[in-house]
Structure 1
């Protein structure tokens, strides 16, 4: 589990392409502190497992399923990536509950700069808009952000403060760029409860 608070910008050092996967090597330092083999690190919001590590390099295997459903397959050597270690029980939850399980790939539509912040419009995959509400949480490339406006056409906006623009890849994303999106897991659980018939069955049994 993660919080969506990016700890470090890493750099893609190498990409080894296999038959049905890639081995991704990333240069970083902060996220390797206290990290062992088998631990999880979120890369642009995608939870990956540390396979090898040194003082400033680590590798992860990315299976075809992840390549098909995230933007990790778009990465090139030299690209910067948002990195976050899995949260520990004694850490402040500065963002929101993030699983590192990408729901779909969205696209940056536009950017509108202002003096102290920037408004970014994004297009979510069809149907994902049902999980987005004004002032609700959304994870974009691993960054925990607040939805400013959720629209009926699956587009939405977020505001980026200077800290986010500087410390994450969101400051560099341009219209047309693909981004990993993860909806609030609480919204998904609520939907499942409401549509599964479980609550109605429970209420019926309690009324007997």
Structure 2
């Protein structure tokens, strides 16, 4: 009986944590009633959800945006200013751009074009990636430029590592090909 109850509770642990955590922490804002206690309630609730991952981390990170104005700790405009700084929006936009580049395979097409233009000579590859990052850095910050370039660098490295022709470093590989309208890496055996 006790085993089946504990097994059932374990299978519903997220729901139990979501419900019990605020109830167990409720004495802080109710009994003490100061702004510090209400802030501690939000902090401890966030810490519990963050460590246990009872709810997704992105939702946990947004709890202060909802609970601080509700408890009167901060106004919603003050909380929103902390969440929506220029750098955060820029970084979020670049991450969205990088994800879309990865989803549509654009990094492989760009990487292949880059490799066919400069070859697989490591010095030329590094120079081309550095030039691309420098060009992107004129419009976005350095972290964002590198974030955008990483899928392309990874695609080039993966294809060079897969090349099992026995060639030496610094030599161009004849196995990197263009195939019709879709640019991809193909290897001949």
Task: Give the TM-score category using the shorter length.
Answer: under 0.3
Higher helix share goes to which structure?
A: 2
Higher relative contact order (CA 8 A, sep 6+): 1
**If the length of structure 2 is used for normalisation, what is the TM-score?**
0.20
Larger radius of gyration: 2
Higher strand share goes to which structure?
A: 1
**If the length of structure 1 is used for normalisation, what is the TM-score?**
0.19
